[in-house]
Amino acid sequence: MGVGGATMDERVPRDFETLRATILDRRASLPKRIAQIAAYALDNPDDIAFGTAASIAASAGVQPSTLIRFAQQLGFDGFTSLQQVFRERLRERNSSYDERLAALRAKAEDGGGHRAIFDGFVAAASTSLGDISRSLNDAHFEEAVALLAKAETIYVLAKRRSYPVASYIAYALGKLKIRNQLVESAAGLNAEMIGFATPRDAVIAISFSPYAPATIEETRSIAEQGVPIVAITDSSFSPLAQFAKVWFEVAEADFGGFRSISATMALAMALTVAVGEKRREAGRRRKG
Amino acid sequence: MGVGGATMDERVPRDFETLRATILDRRASLPKRIAQIAAYALDNPDDIAFGTAASIAASAGVQPSTLIRFAQQLGFDGFTSLQQVFRERLRERNSSYDERLAALRAKAEDGGGHRAIFDGFVAAASTSLGDISRSLNDAHFEEAVALLAKAETIYVLAKRRSYPVASYIAYALGKLKIRNQLVESAAGLNAEMIGFATPRDAVIAISFSPYAPATIEETRSIAEQGVPIVAITDSSFSPLAQFAKVWFEVAEADFGGFRSISATMALAMALTVAVGEKRREAGRRRKG
DNA sequence: GTCAATATGAAATATTAATTCCAATCCGCA
DNA sequence: TGCGGATTGGAATTAATATTTCATATTGAC
């Protein structure tokens, strides 16, 4: 008691930046071994996030107890709570928008006005774009483009929430003068339409959970005819994945129960234009 | 050897991509609970990296022992070694989202392969979202929401490139149980459909340069019937603007001559959900 | 140089988490 | 419908990890 007052009053740093500032601030006044572990922590934050007290202590050349004393001097009640801050940092780097989204959600819920709803959808869209940009596999993309580029006719298959994407693809393919067929249900002739597809054609199928049964059924049926399928869906466990030659997993963030579709849209646009590009290349080669 | 040979021979996946591929490969043959945890793992890799066996099992709705069995079936000797793979993945992803975005913008501009096309569309979408987030006028948004919320039927009007947005709005309004009519051209009965609209209804009209003549014509005609119009368009000089009670100017960035539609989509989703919200509020007030 | 205060090392202990085990259940098959 | 193997749930066990304790060393003041 008594002397320790200064330490006890202090608030515990809850985010990495504050923690870092605190450490740098006190650096001069820290005892030797504590300073040693402090330096190590700032230099190797990932090790702190994942290591055990013993392993970190060993790497830093100190005793586990020193590590705990270090945490306690910063106001944490032990190594474990210090470690939380380092872990949080890694999570946030991956999805910096997630927190913002949660805040907006809260704001929208307790009557932050309608602007909050708009902000929420913008944030959800940004998050989704960030995710897909990280996770898209180049090789899969190339494969899909190659597969679609050599198709005689591209069939586009999607219902309900995914339908807007399909209609965009159909529009863009048309613009690029690529023969395509949007499988719509207006006249109930989908089965017949699908029947015309051959292995020389290709399909883009899009469906997200809860998967529209019609989309699944039609995809199965067209796959059985030997037509190669490119699927855009939300989980590798999607029923679409099993029928597809190539599939893309797109994780869309949601806001107020409505999922974004911007990542899917961006992927769809890219696929379409890349297919156009590839055909142009092929055309040039034939002529030249 | 014997029956166990197959499992024992297998190499243990040491990196995340291999692990992922392995899981997907065996998906079909996994028992129910194991499949459940497998899906959870691929959908929430960060949770696996940070959580404890107990916490993860709880989130995925299985027993801790199932989690361990899952790890063992993949050839790991326990949950801990499986977790290492998920942690490694996080360490590897170092660059932040913004850095990455800037990099891919540059790369897309000096034409790489097809991946560059994808990156270009992601960059265009992000830019558009940033722009609209800055430029959207709160008062206009509120006004549009109020106008649409009190409509008996919301007519949705858009062709060609804007049609996907319209179909999304129609879908979302339907989900929210808000009466709406998508003005489609299939049977050529648009004029008649529009004829039913009254000043107690409202319209969302969407069109971008080059404005589809049909959209302009239909908007004019419905405006003359005294039906209030909310327009989403790309310039205050747009022919739509003159007919509209409220209009939004949305500047979409383009890539390779193809404009993004993510900002328009975000606005459309926000409008739709805000209208739903406003109606709910109004409903509560009437009852209370 | 001696004393008190502080810091450190190393082992003991307490806590928490992973793993194993066994009974109950489910599922395919005759 | 009853049998046998596979799968699952949940408690018991074992392993690991964090924390505490205490003896020893270091530092700085007088």
Minimal Cα–Cα distance from A28 to chain B, Å? 30
Confidence (pLDDT) at A5: 34
Q: What is the pLDDT of residues A11-33, one digit of tens each?
A: 677 788 888 888 888 888 888 88
Contact pairs from chain A to chain B, CB under 8 Å: 173
Q: Which residue has the higher pLDDT, B2 or A180?
A: A180
Domains present along chain A, CATH in parentheses:
2-94 (1.10.10.10), 136-287 (3.40.50.10490)
Q: In residues, how long is chain A?
A: 288
Q: What is the pLDDT of residues A127-178, one digit of tens each?
A: 899 889 888 888 899 999 999 999 999 999 999 999 999 999 999 999 999 9
Q: Which amino acid is at A108?
A: A
Find the CB nearest A164 among B100, B167, B274: B167
B139 burial level (CB within 10 Å; 0-12, 13-18, 19+): exposed
Average pLDDT over chain A reads 84
Cα-based angle B46, B49, B51 (whole degrees, multiple of 5): 95
Interface contact flag, B125 A129, Cβ < 8 Å: yes
| Residue A104 and residue A119 in contact, taking contact as beta carbons nearer than 8 Å | yes
- Residue in chain A closest to B271 (alpha carbons) equals A118
Which bases of strand C have any atom within 7 Å of the beta carbon of a protein residue?
6-11, 16-21, 27
Q: What DSSP string runs through chain B? A: --TTHHHHHSPPP-SHHHHHHHHHHHGGGS-HHHHHHHHHHHH-HHHHHHS-HHHHHHHHTS-HHHHHHHHHHTT-SSHHHHHHHHHHHHHH--S-HHHHHHHHHHHHHT--SHHHHHHHHHHHHHHHHHHHHHH--HHHHHHHHHHHHT-SSEEEE--GGGHHHHHHHHHHHHHTT--EEE---TTS-HHHHHHT--TTSEEEEE--SSPPHHHHHHHHHHHHTT--EEEEES-TTSTTGGG-SEEEE----EETTEE--HHHHHHHHHHHHHHHHHHHHHHHHHH-
pLDDT at A109 over 70: no
Q: What is the pLDDT of residues A194-205, one digit of tens each?
A: 888 999 999 999
Q: What is the pLDDT of residues B155-190, one digit of tens each?
A: 999 999 999 999 999 999 999 999 999 997 665 677
Q: Which residue has the higher pLDDT, B227 or A234?
A: B227
In angstroms, how far is C14 C1' from B187 CA?
Answer: 77
Q: How far is CA B262 from CA B74, B130, B232, B259, B266, in A?
A: 40, 11, 13, 9, 6
Contacts of B265 in chain A (CB under 8 A): 125, 261-262, 265
